[in-house]
Amino acid sequence: MNTEKKEERYKRVLKQIEDLTNKTKDPLARMSTIAAVLHHKFEYFSWTGFYRLVNDDLIVSCYQGSVACLVLPKNTGVCWEAINRKETIIVPDVHKFPNHIACDSRSKSEIVVPVKNSVGEITAVLDVDSKELNSFDEVDVENLEKIVALIYQ
């Protein structure tokens, strides 16, 4: 998707997600809704969902796409890397990322965005996979960070 089209799509999707997340403050309801909207509005999102940090484990939560790993072993893979670095990570080619966890062998690129609660603690990550290389860029980072910031607002 070209940058202009992507920016335009995110603009509309952000508005839709703001309207929907305003209906309840429940974080799980908001995460489920965000996963559903994003997954169906972006053709290149092949798996879209959240892993929650529960007692030092990353446990799969609401998602759209094929069945994923239920638990991600500590300090392994992209999701843990985003938690440890406390920042969004783009992986242009998952086969070049050491210790990448392949829940679906068709995934080729990935973005992981930490989710912070109202006091700034990381409680989860948003993980999006694509079946194409190099799917994610700064437009995804900027917009997905804005979207996950709505979860605890």
113 lies in the binding site for ligand SME (CB under 6 A): no
Q: Which residues on neighbouring strands pair with residue 120, listed in sequence order? A: none
Rounded to 5 degrees, what are φ and ψ at 29? -65, -40
* 83 SS3 class: helix
> How many Å apart are CA 18 and CA 151, to the nearest integer?
10
Q: Per CB under 6 A, which region of 17-25, 38-46, 71-79, 113-121 contacts ligand SME?
A: 71-79
By CB under 6 A, residue 129 contacts ligand SME: yes
Residue nearest to ligand SME (CB): 77
Using rule CB under 6 A, residue 100 touches ligand SME: yes
- Across the beta sheet with 122-130, what order do the strands follow? 71-72, 57-64, 47-54, 122-130, 109-116, 89-91
State in angstroms the smallest separation of the CB of 105 from ligand SME.
11
Residue 140 sits in the site that holds ligand SME (CB under 6 A): no
CA distance 146 to 143: 5
Among 10, 47, 50, 136, contact with ligand SME (rule: CB under 6 A) = 47
Closest CA to 3 of 147, 150, 149, 141: 141
Of residues 14 and 64, the one with the C-beta less far from ligand SME = 64
Does 69 interact with ligand SME (rule: CB under 6 A)? yes
Q: Which of 40, 20, 18, 19 is nearest to 29 (CA)?
A: 20
Count the residues of the shown chain that bind ligand SME, applying the rule CB under 6 A.
14
144 binds ligand SME (CB under 6 A): no
**Residues interacting with ligand SME, by CB under 6 A?**
47, 68-69, 72, 77-79, 100-101, 103, 107, 110, 127, 129
